[in-house]
């Protein structure tokens, strides 16, 4: 597990807002040397904390306004097989193995309700699925985020190993 501090969290926050910022821009915004930013990014990439720089797409803006969460109950021992089949469906955008009544929570996205219904029928007919429950997302008042959690986790940490807290942060 990688230990992060407030500087790492601020760096991740800047990247989260604009992943196209250059190392020089990041360093300037944080008030640290470019080498500091480069070494921290390299450390976070090497450890697996930072796994890439992806665009944050608005699905509705590209014509995919319907999102739903499908809870799936499975036959014993079928988790991997069902998961492998779900991965082959392009409308499946996330899969989580869960505890409780359902074994998998699957996030799907489609352009229309009719497409959603066809997808749900396709999923329900996969071998190994015994029951499904679907919840359609109407809005996303709080889309996926991580920054507040990281800030909370580093409340008691320092700001860099050998770097003093910038005057603007004191």
pLDDT bin (cut points 50, 70, 90) of residue 161 is: low
Q: Mean pLDDT of all residues in the chain?
A: 91
Q: 68 forms bridges with which residues in the sheet?
A: 108, 136
User: Per residue in 112-157, pLDDT tens?
Assistant: 999 999 999 999 999 999 999 999 999 999 988 889 999 999 888 8
Between CA 156 and CA 91 the distance in angstroms is 41
User: Per residue in 73-120, pLDDT tens?
Assistant: 999 999 999 999 999 999 999 999 999 999 999 999 999 999 999 999
User: Per residue in 13-65, pLDDT tens?
Assistant: 999 889 899 999 999 999 999 999 999 999 999 999 988 877 778 899 999 99
Supply the pLDDT for residue 92: 98
DSSP designation for 126: S
**Global pTM value:** 0.80
Instruction: Inform me whether the pLDDT recorded for 167 exceeds 60.
Output: no
Q: Both tokens of residue 80?
A: 């991997």
DSSP designation for 159: S
* Strand ranges for 14-89 from DSSP E: 66-74
């Amino acid at each position: 597990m990688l230990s992060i501090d407030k500087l790492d969290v601020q760096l991740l926050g800047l990247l989260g807002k604009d992943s196209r910022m250059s190392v020089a821009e990041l360093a300037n915004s944080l008030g640290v040397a470019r080498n500091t930013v480069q070494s921290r990014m390299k450390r976070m990439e090497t450890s697996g904390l930072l796994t890439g720089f992806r665009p944050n797409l608005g699905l509705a803006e590209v014509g995919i306004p319907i999102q739903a969460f499908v809870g799936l109950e499975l036959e014993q021992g079928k988790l991997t097989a069902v998961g492998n089949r779900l991965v082959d469906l392009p409308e499946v955008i996330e899969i989580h193995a869960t505890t409780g009544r359902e074994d998998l929570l699957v996030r799907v996205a489609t352009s229309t309700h009719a497409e959603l219904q066809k997808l749900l029928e396709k999923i329900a007919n996969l071998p190994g699925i015994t029951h499904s429950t679907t919840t359609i997302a109407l809005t996303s008042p709080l889309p996926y985020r991580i920054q507040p959690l990281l800030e909370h986790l580093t409340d008691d940490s320092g700001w860099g190993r050998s770097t003093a807290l910038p005057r603007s942060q004191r």
